[in-house]
Amino acid sequence: MIELAFSILAADFAHLADEIALATSAGGTIVHVDVMDGHFVPNITFGPPVVKAIRPITQLPLDCHLMIEDPDKFIPDFAAAGADMVCVHVEVCRHLNRTLQLIADHGMKPAVVLNPATPIEHLIEVLPMVHHVLVMSVNPGFGGQKFLPRSIDRIQHLVHLRQKMGLDYRIEVDGGVGHDTVASVVKAGADMLVAGSAIFEKGKTAENAQAFLKIAREAALSNA
């Protein structure tokens, strides 16, 4: 099933609850929360207090993408705030297996994310532990960047590995996924689509989300 994980990074923060309601009514199924610390990435956003604030206003799962150094330190806080899924960057985890286990031990779904320059092979040993793999299709830190075309090969590589290893992880893609790129992302095999600016631009959240999902679902049908 194709899912839209809308990234609230591009939403109007002064009306976050309304933005989430609009994206949900238009078919969004996951709230993607981009957590940045100003160290791992050159930008600062939000953390567990914002997760805690949005937890009661939506029934959708909260997918927390941690672009932070030392994620182990904050995993209990995200669990307490109500996160459902936590993605950690392979580039910051010295003991990736331990970190993923820590996420699972806190009752959340573990996921791992790779920067565009990180080889997929770095994940082989942990693939059986993860709910999903997040493929960064831009360098993390900012919304509104251009999709990196090599990401398509990387998605296909993960599809191939999943089959070869007999696993069932999902494949999420994040960065520059918009009306012009989403069809190729879906055709390559991704099924969790992160989109920020494509959904929240021009204050037309519901219309954008509907149009985006229409393209994504048509691409999925042509895969079948």
The residues that touch ligand DX5, with contacts defined as CB under 6 A, are: 7, 9-10, 32, 34, 65, 138, 140-141, 143-145, 174-177, 194-198
- Compare residues 107 and 151 and give the one whose CB is closer to ligand DX5: 151
Min separation Cβ 86 and ligand DX5, Å? 14
Q: How far apart are CA 198 and CA 212, in angstroms?
A: 8
The Cβ-side half-sphere exposure at 202, using a 13 Å CA radius, reads: 6
136: tokens are 């960064």
Spot the catalytic one: 37, 84, 174, 191. Answer: 174
Q: Is the dihedral of CA 132, 138, 139, 145 positive or negative?
A: negative
**What is the three-class DSSP state of 65?**
strand
- Compare residues 148 and 167 and give the one whose CB is closer to ligand DX5: 148
Spot the catalytic one: 34, 37, 84, 191. Answer: 34
- Compare residues 189 and 196 and give the one whose CB is closer to ligand DX5: 196
**What is the three-class DSSP state of 8?**
helix
- Compare residues 101 and 144 and give the one whose CB is closer to ligand DX5: 144
Q: How far is CA 13 from CA 45, 76, 87, 141, in A?
A: 11, 25, 22, 17
- Determine how many CB atoms are found less than 10 A away from the CB of residue 18: 13
Report what 175 binds from ligand DX5, Zn ion, none; CB cut-off 5-8 Å by kind.
Answer: ligand DX5
* Binding of residue 34 to Zn ion (CB under 5 A): yes
Q: Which residue is nearest to ligand DX5 (CB)?
A: 196
Report what 68 binds from ligand DX5, Zn ion, none; CB cut-off 5-8 Å by kind.
Answer: none
Q: Indicate the residue type of 111.
A: A
63 catalytic per annotation: no
Q: Indicate the residue type of 65.
A: H
Please give the positions annotated as active site: 34, 174
Q: Report the interface residues with Zn ion, using CB under 5 A.
A: 34, 65, 174
